[in-house]
Structure 1
Amino acid sequence: KGDLRKILVDWSATYDATARARLGDMRNIVRKKAGYDEEHLKVIRQVDVLSALELSDIDDLLPCSENLANVGDVVAREQLPDAIARMSSLTKPLLVHAEGGVGKTVFLEGLASALSNKHEVVFFDCFGGGAYRSPEDGRHLANRGLIHIANLLACRSLCDPILPGSDNPEILFSTFRKRLAQCMNTLATANESRELIIIIDAIDNAADFAKERNQRAFPTQLIESFERSGAVPGVKLVVSCRSHRIERSLGDLSYEDFELRAFSLSETSTYLRSRVTGIKAEETRVAQARSNGNARILEHLVDSDRGLLDVSEIDKPIALDDLLQKRIDDALSEAVRRGYKKKEINAFLAGLSVLPPPVPLSEYAEAHGMAIGAIESFAADLAPLLEQTEHGMTFRDEPTETLVRESYGSQTSALRIVAKNLMERQDKSVYAARSLPGLLQRLGDGKRLFKLAFDERFPAAISSTVGQRRI
């Protein structure tokens, strides 16, 4: 009993009623299974343990799944050996930064693969295919991100797990550091030189979303913990963000700078040869000049008319934001041609940029008073920037989402139209009921938030008291 109590308190990363409740429920299961009432059901199964630990599913232990894009054949980056060499003497977090479209995520994936031969590597994705903005995701929070990383290590039998449910950041970070130390002790039994590398991608997305919610992003807190309390021996951090977002992501925290450069001519040649049949040397030089080595722009050139690589085009550089904006403008023009007002389309894009993904097509169409066919056509015009899944629409990648958020998500008048539309659908749409509070908070509309809190309209699909209370 004493051992069980210690284990559950330690795994819960809390000293409050949660640990006591779990302990009581676990004891009750053992008593019940050992009693006469369960004569033929004496086996304690996984579902029994999950129930006692107040977990609805085994996936609760790993709440932040990756959603990394498939970019095809990966170019071996020339800077990769330098990054690997820097790891041996690293005393501060290594910050890999670049502008959008250069390939930070793919570079970190390559770094993780190369380091995993000699070290234990954990890769954490802060973007999650845009899921980081979803209310139930919360991957920017310590009680989600730290638990996911710790339990990834626990799945590899390197340390004990941390159970979800802790809202005490001090205890959670203390427990997490203990797990890292435990992990290093386990690794040392096999190879004393094996280190733990934690790679966290897109910390700027986590920092921005946390700021919107008046919360703190766990990657920033983790780096702060390592700086002020000291790093856990043998554990090293690698993080990434856009260059112009370094200050808002890290503030005055110390880091070791690693600027990821765009593709060199040689890397561009490798990229094109694997994707374009019979690519010529002069076409490669044109692609390099027009893209300045930006991988996303190269992708556009590959997928477009071969005439874009003519020698006559060499003095016509393409900026990533200009490329993305042109695709959006073309889709807007087509929607206007079909009879929709630009004000309506701006409101559509504004909502798409701030509402939690994936955004259901049918519900969003009804909220804007638009035919679902028009929404589908508009989404198709924006492909591949906008991806349609079985659950709804979501941005394909971070550069596209960032551009739309900065261009349309800052239009308060457009967002107020979205909020008005969602308010009118509180008794019809679960998505509207789930997403409106976050939008009103972003708008700073306390009056309407207060009104919404006492709104007794609920979608028919939410019939339980628990579901209604959650809304």
Structure 2
Amino acid sequence: MSESMLVRASRDGDQFHYLWAARRALLLLNPLSDLVAVTIEGAATDEFPGSKQVEVGEQLIDIAEYYGSTDLKSASLIRYMQLKHSTLQVDEIWQPSGLEKTIQGFAERYAALQAELLDDSLNGKLEFWFVTNRTISPKFVETIEDASAQKESRHPGDLKKLEAFTSLKGERLASFCRMLRLDGSQDNYWTQRNILFQDVAGYLPDMDVDAPIRLNYLVNSKALSENATSPSITKMDVLRALRTDEAELFPAPCLVEEIAQAIPRRQEQAIIRSIIDAPGTPVIVHADAGVGKSVFSTRICQNLPAGSVGLLYDCFGNGQYRSATGYRHRHKTALVQLANQLSALGFCHLLIPTVNADSSSYVRAFMHRVGQAAAMIRATSEDALLCIIVDAADNAQMAAEEINEPRSFIRDLLRQPLPEGVRLVALCRPYREPMLDPPPYAVSLGLDAFTVEETAAHLRQTYPHASDQDVAEFHRLSSHNPRVQALALSRQTTLPDMLRLLGPNPTTVDGAIATLLENSIANLRDASGAPEKAQIDLICAGLASLRPLLPIAV
């Protein structure tokens, strides 16, 4: 056999090593794995912070995985791996003699670490893996199993070899063998490369042939001398290799505040029951400004069947939805945010945005994850639902049209077939419902303003001794509108003064805001000196000329 072929076979082994490590590094993206670092060619350099590191057996460590922490005392699990790949001898079985140096080195590192930790036990915290594409002697594997269980060995001759390799017997041998895993018959490096491409594709909205190459390069670079003092790969390293970061994974966090003492609505149960009873059908809940759509959106999840999961997406974003830095209407923003909220709960892979993916790719990737999540949720309880709630959906379409983009994500989402166990709810104003272009079979439900009983509960949260007459007057002057009522109650004045400020005629949302601003500016001008009054007027004029965050009638 030529020397060049031996060199090529050795290179195959390197590729097997890097590809295997790249696939393991993807586990860093799993929010439930507790994996914090993967090291290449050796252990982490901070296993014993502030102390000299243990070097015994380190030459055997091709990959190490650290769960919880890279500090050995704090880690929940540390896994050392040696990888061996054969191109020319793939059909030959690994015999005990071929494993002697590996097992001996692992045992020596086990003893050295145990001596360093003194009273801290490594049982359940440490694992030693030998991974290969060749078959490992079944008899030797059985010998290790028997030793770990302290059973009479089925292969006494192999037991003697194992004792000689480790220099351990009895309980100490059993303890070590419980940490030892021989993992043979793995896929060769060519198949590992194909699997890596599939694994990476599972995180992306479309095919990106360069992404697995960049991830493999990251592993390769960590094996070089330039990274001898920093061999660890972290979640951030993997995200950078895939050209993203934490901010892009969660680009539009929900800014809708949950109100602890929200008034339960008379219609609440009926509307939520209609949502539950609408399989495969999107539901649109419409209400006028200030009626409480956003508050209601936070209460839907609280009343779903046991075991259900709700996702709330906020299209409004405290008025920033029209800002170039705060767009929330695009598929790349909304569907990535929702998918990764599901991922954070452990129901699916992350959805990592890419440069070239189009809207259809994001919808397909998102709906695939929704189907996965719904199946997992229903596996626990048949009645459980995955409910996706989109608040201020009309604002998303308005923002899209304002910058000449024909469709926001909600238009496409409303027309997607919903998997079993999934409910989709969009909230908007009544006259803007046609902007969403809902399918003809969509269920449309109206949310009314406060009833007198709801107004009474709202008023008495601030004024416990308010009379029925006070309630009736407050109900009339506020036009039954929860937002008008909330603005009036926020003035922190006496009940008679608050009612007087609302009267004598019923107040609208726009009127309440205008009155509040006028009073605030008047108080500010009155408290300031003459020079400051002119400056206040100039500031108000400047603010009035700015582009509004909220749409206004013209």
Identify the TM-score tier after normalising by the shorter chain. 0.5 to 0.7
Alignment of 1:271 with 2:470, yes or no, is: no
Equivalent in 96, 108, 120 of residue 285 of structure 2: 96
Alignment TM-score, normalising by the size of structure 2: 0.58
Checking the alignment, whether the CA contact within 8 Å between 1:142 and 1:217 is kept in structure 2 is: yes
Larger radius of gyration: 2
Q: Distance in 1 between matches of 2:288 and 2:534?
A: 37
Alignment of 1:51 with 2:240, yes or no, is: yes
Q: Distance in 1 between matches of 2:487 and 2:346?
A: 43
Q: Which moved more, 1:102-111 or 1:69-78?
A: 69-78
Aligned to 1:143: 332
Query: Shift of residue 345 of structure 1?
Result: 4.4
Aligned to 2:546: 351
String of CA shifts for 1:26-50, please: whole Å, max 9, x gaps: 0011222234554443332222212
Q: Secondary structure at the match of 1:4?
A: helix
Q: Which has the higher helix share?
A: 1
Alignment of 1:5 with 2:197, yes or no, is: yes
Superposition RMSD on alpha carbons, in Å? 2.8
Q: 1:328 to 1:350 in 2, by over 3 A?
A: farther
Q: Distance in 1 between matches of 2:295 and 2:241?
A: 40
Aligned to 1:294: 481
Q: Distance in 1 between matches of 2:316 and 2:310?
A: 19
Q: Distance in 2 between matches of 1:135 and 1:255?
A: 31
Checking the alignment, whether the CA contact within 8 Å between 1:286 and 1:309 is kept in structure 2 is: no
Q: Distance in 1 between matches of 2:218 and 2:470?
A: 70
Alignment of structure 1 residues 118-133 onto 2, 5 Å? 118-133=307-322
Q: 1:69 to 1:84 in 2, by over 3 A?
A: closer
Checking the alignment, whether the CA contact within 8 Å between 2:307 and 2:381 is kept in structure 1 is: no
Alignment of structure 1 residues 201-240 onto 2, 5 Å? 201-215=391-405, 216-224=407-415, 226=416, 230-240=417-427
Counterpart amino acid of residue 325 in structure 2:
E
Tell me, which stretches of 5 or more residues in structure 1 are unaligned?
355-400, 411-471
Query: Shift of residue 83 of structure 1?
Result: 1.8
Aligned to 1:452: none
Q: Secondary structure at the match of 2:424?
A: strand
Checking the alignment, whether the CA contact within 8 Å between 1:289 and 1:314 is kept in structure 2 is: no
Q: Distance in 1 between matches of 2:435 and 2:501?
A: 41
Q: Secondary structure at the match of 1:123?
A: strand
Q: Distance in 1 between matches of 2:389 and 2:460?
A: 30
Counterpart amino acid of residue 240 in structure 1:
L
How many residues align? The count is 351
Alignment of structure 1 residues 20-419 onto 2, 5 Å? 20-55=209-244, 57-69=245-257, 71=259, 73-90=261-278, 91-115=280-304, 117-166=306-355, 167-215=357-405, 216-224=407-415, 226=416, 230-250=417-437, 254-302=441-489, 303=491, 304-308=493-497, 316-329=505-518, 338-339=533-534, 345=540, 348-354=543-549, 401=550, 405-407=551-553
Checking the alignment, whether the CA contact within 8 Å between 1:286 and 1:311 is kept in structure 2 is: no
Checking the alignment, whether the CA contact within 8 Å between 1:282 and 1:311 is kept in structure 2 is: no
Checking the alignment, whether the CA contact within 8 Å between 1:301 and 1:308 is kept in structure 2 is: no
Q: Secondary structure at the match of 2:427?
A: strand
Aligned to 1:443: none
Checking the alignment, whether the CA contact within 8 Å between 1:97 and 1:242 is kept in structure 2 is: yes
Checking the alignment, whether the CA contact within 8 Å between 2:306 and 2:383 is kept in structure 1 is: no
Query: Shift of residue 126 of structure 1?
Result: 0.8
Q: Distance in 2 between matches of 1:252 and 1:332?
A: 47
Q: Secondary structure at the match of 1:183?
A: helix
Checking the alignment, whether the CA contact within 8 Å between 1:286 and 1:314 is kept in structure 2 is: no
Aligned to 1:469: none
Query: Shift of residue 141 of structure 1?
Result: 0.3
Quote the sequence identity (%): 23
Q: Secondary structure at the match of 2:291?
A: coil
Checking the alignment, whether the CA contact within 8 Å between 2:276 and 2:423 is kept in structure 1 is: no
Counterpart amino acid of residue 197 in structure 2:
R
Alignment TM-score, normalising by the size of structure 1: 0.68
Query: Shift of residue 117 of structure 1?
Result: 3.5
String of CA shifts for 1:267-308, please: whole Å, max 9, x gaps: 111111111142122111111111232111212332355225
String of CA shifts for 1:342-389, please: whole Å, max 9, x gaps: 8984553241415xxxxxxxxxxxxxxxxxxxxxxxxxxxxxxxxxxx
Q: Distance in 1 between matches of 2:512 and 2:502?
A: 15
Aligned to 1:453: none
Q: 1:306 to 1:78 in 2, by over 3 A?
A: same
More contact order relative to length (CA 8 Å, sep ≥ 6): 1
Counterpart amino acid of residue 186 in structure 1:
M
Tell me, which stretches of 5 or more residues in structure 2 are unaligned?
1-192
Aligned to 2:36: none
Checking the alignment, whether the CA contact within 8 Å between 1:184 and 1:196 is kept in structure 2 is: yes
Q: Secondary structure at the match of 1:76?
A: coil
String of CA shifts for 1:67-110, please: whole Å, max 9, x gaps: 12465521111111112221332042111111111111111111
Counterpart amino acid of residue 197 in structure 1:
C
